[in-house]
Amino acid sequence: MAVVGVGGAGCAVVDHIYCSDADMETVAINTDRASLDKTGAHRRVLLCDRVTRGEGAKGDHELGRSCAITHIDKITESLQGNDIIFIVAGMGGGTGTGAAPVVADISRRLGMITFAIAINPFKFEDGRRRVAREGLRRLRAVAPLTMVMENDLLLERAPESTMADAFAMASAGIEDYIRRNSRKVTSVFLEQLTQMEMRLGEPYGDWPSTETDTVRILFP
């Protein structure tokens, strides 16, 4: 499985996961070169270097979308080798809003189980709310397994903390969500695989009886 961050917020979450030494594959996708260079990830994809001059989509979600479409091949290559994809993107800007639905569409077409986590902008980011709503609608259309995280919740939970601390808290929460869900998907998948092998009448000797044992044995 892999966690794929798209745009600034998505890449911040990926960087957090990469630095926390989690045993998850990470992919960072951005139109902003400086930001991407600072993002820790196993794979990095810079979109539309020539068009955006590596300076980001500057709030233009149509540009974010066309940059992703232009680089379908690069994105496809960065997702290869995974069965489960978790896409993380902030809504309301250009890259995450525009490119995340394209990335989700690619991973779905590759037959990967595709989850998405959309980060909604703060209420005080007035102009971004409408763009965020439209981005979320497009994301859900290709990835029905989309969860929404409200940045406003950070203000409620930790009103005194700095922005950096609040974002770190959000990233840790998202990492936890991904971890729990990937475990669930893996165990359901393995259970079905076991049942399929039983139906096929394969000799399977001392197969473990519990889900956790199955996970431990197949993925030590």
Ligand X SMILES: Nc1nc2c(ncn2[C@@H]2O[C@H](COP(=O)(O)OP(=O)(O)OP(=O)(O)O)[C@@H](O)[C@H]2O)c(=O)[nH]1
Q: Which residues bind ligand X (CB under 6 A)?
A: 7-9, 12, 31-32, 56-59, 64, 90, 92-96, 119, 121-122, 125, 128, 151, 167, 170
Structure tokens at 164: 């950096």
Which residue number, 88 or 112, has a Cβ lying nearer to ligand X? 88
Radius of gyration of the chain (CA): 19
Task: Tell which positions 37-66 bind Mg ion, by CB under 5 A.
Answer: 56
Which residues lie below 8 Å from residue 33, measured CB to CB, with a gap of 6+?
46, 49, 54, 55
Q: Per-residue DSSP letters for 86-102?
A: EEEEESSSSHHHHHHHH
Tell me whether residue 56 or residue 135 sits nearer to Mg ion (CB atom). Answer: 56
Min dist CB 129 to ligand X, Å, is 9
Partner from Mg ion, ligand X, none contacting 128, C-beta within 5 to 8 A by type: ligand X
Smaller CB separation from Mg ion, 31 or 78: 31
Residue span binding Mg ion (CB under 5 A) among the ranges 26-34, 62-70, 72-80, 185-193? 26-34
Binding to Mg ion by residue 135, rule CB under 5 A?
A: no
Decide which of Mg ion, ligand X, none touches 5; Cβ closer than 5 to 8 Å per partner kind: none
d(CA 92, CA 126): 10
Q: Least distance in Å: CB of 28 to ligand X?
A: 11
96 binding Mg ion? (CB under 5 A) = no
CB of 123 to Mg ion, least distance (A): 20
Q: How far apart are CA 106 and CA 163, in angstroms?
A: 33
User: What is the C-alpha to C-alpha distance for residues 207 and 27, in angstroms, rounded to an integer?
Assistant: 35
Selected from 3, 6, 8, 114, the binder of Mg ion by CB under 5 A is: 8
* Residue 26 DSSP one-character state: E
Q: Which amino acid is present at 205?
A: G
Please enumerate in sequence order all residues whose Cβ is within 8 A of that of 166, keeping only pairs 6 or more positions apart, or say none.
154, 155, 158
* DSSP H/E element including 43: strand 43-46
Nearest distance from residue 26's CB to Mg ion, in Å? 18
Of 71 and 128, which has the nearer Cβ to ligand X?
128
Q: Is 32 in the site for Mg ion (CB under 5 A)?
A: yes
- Give the Cα separation of 108 and 180 in Å (integer): 21
Query: Interface residues with Mg ion (CB under 5 A)?
Result: 8, 32, 56
